[in-house]
Amino acid sequence: MTSGGDAAGMNPAIKYAATYAKKCGLSPYLVEWGLRGLIEGWVREATPDRLAGIIHRGGTVLGSSRSKRFYEYEFRKQAFENLQHHGITKLIVIGGDGSFSALNQFYADFEVPFAGIPATIDNDIPGTDYCLGVDTALNMIRQSVDSIRDTASSFSRAFVIETMGRHCGYLAITSALANGADVCLVPEVAYDLDSIAERLRMQKKQGQKYVLGIVAEGTGMGDTLTRWMGEALGMDARLTVLGHVQRGGSPTVYDRVMAHNFATAAIDGLLAGERNKVVTFKDGHIGSSSISEIAAAKHLVNPSLVKLCEELSN
């Protein structure tokens, strides 16, 4: 099942998890529409026709949802009875920490073991360096920034590009570094607009014709930075909010390969007796962490990336 926000890489993970499960002698099923689907009993066998032609597709062919009803015991019991009807004894959920917490409560109630596959473009799940969908999202942002750069240079304008990231600036930081942005504002780094203005004025004197700024939505600084650039630099300044375009797109090669790694590790973990673990990718190695470990930890963006971003915030 997929749950929470969609992310490119979910479909390859669905495909690889189901096909690998069959190779291991299991009988895989697909839950449609996430937690709501568990409650409603929207469960179907993972037949070849359901799995064919989905690896290249963005989003999730199973659909997703956020269900308030799942927080109520009576509806979780209904979900459990639906699984019993199909003889389902193990679950794989592809999503974020909210989905994992919901399945952890489900395990506490009915002892149905599950494996979590991290999938969120914010890349903000503690214990793992990578979540499915991140590389595709970064490439969608890169494509957009490249297009915006063309018009910025043509009209000598300042552009501010707002990326997703309510609590985590990973997308903005990585995109700013990869795309040569002049300014980057994220929740993890203190910024100094006076210092930025002095630096940008110097760059203009040295012949720079346009300015690019990238901000994380969690800073709430998109409109403010755009107005400030116009006033401080005397330039025509525009804001582009990328929004949900960052969630879309065909999964990159990296996301497809990581989906394969995560999916096989999830099946192997369940077969080895793991009961409520999330598959992780840490320091180049696939592993797993318990929900309690993830809940107790605070996610931090790689300090080396944060340090590189500091010069764009001052």
CATH number, residue 202:
3.40.50.460
176 within a domain of the structure (yes/no): yes
Report pLDDT for 295.
Answer: 80
CATH number for 121:
3.40.50.450
Do 86 and 168 sit in the same domain of this protein? no
Indicate the pTM of the whole model: 0.95
Instruction: Quote the pLDDT of residue 203.
Output: 95
State whether 16 and 126 are in the same domain. yes
Q: How would DSSP label each residue in 58-100?
A: -S-TT-----GGGGSHHHHHHHHHHHHHHT---EEEEE-HHHH
Q: How far apart are CA 175 and CA 185, in angstroms?
A: 12
Same domain, 200 and 69: no
Same-domain status, 123 and 258 = yes
Q: For each of the chain's 314 residues, which pLDDT tens digit applies?
A: 999 999 999 999 999 999 999 999 999 999 999 999 999 999 999 999 999 999 999 999 999 988 899 999 999 999 999 999 999 999 999 999 889 999 999 999 999 999 999 999 999 999 999 999 999 999 999 999 999 999 999 999 999 999 999 889 999 999 999 999 999 999 999 999 999 999 999 999 999 999 999 999 999 999 999 999 999 999 999 999 999 999 999 999 999 999 999 999 999 999 999 999 999 999 999 999 998 888 888 888 999 999 999 999 99
Helix (H, G, I), strand (E, B) or coil at 209: coil
The answer to whether residue 303 is domain-embedded is no
| Within-domain flag for 283 | yes
Are both 49 and 147 inside the same structural domain? no
Q: Are residues 220 and 174 part of one domain?
A: yes
Do 104 and 33 belong together in one domain? yes
Domain count, the chain: 2
CA distance 106 to 112: 7
**Does residue 305 belong to any structural domain of this protein?**
no
Does one domain contain both 205 and 142? yes
Q: Does 116 fall in a domain?
A: yes
Domain-embedded: residue 32: yes
Structural domain contains residue 313 = no
Q: Which of 122, 135, 182, 255 is catalytic?
A: 122
Provide the residue range defining the domain that includes 153. Answer: 135-247
Same domain flag for 260 and 194: no
Say whether 49 is catalytic: no
Please give the span between the terminal C-alpha atoms of the chain, in angstroms, as a whole number: 44
Both structure tokens of 80: 């459990």
Query: Which among 253, 244, 263 is positioned nearest to 6, based on CA atoms?
Result: 244
Q: Give the residue among 252, 217, 211 at the shortest CA–CA distance from 230.
A: 211
Question: Quick check: helix, strand or coil at residue 282?
Answer: strand
116 and 22, same structural domain?
Answer: yes
Spatial distance between the Cα atoms of 292 and 221, rounded to a whole number of angstroms: 34
Same domain, 112 and 261: yes
User: Is 5 within a domain?
Assistant: no
Task: Say yes or no: 115 and 255 in one domain.
Answer: yes
Provide the pLDDT for residue 55: 97
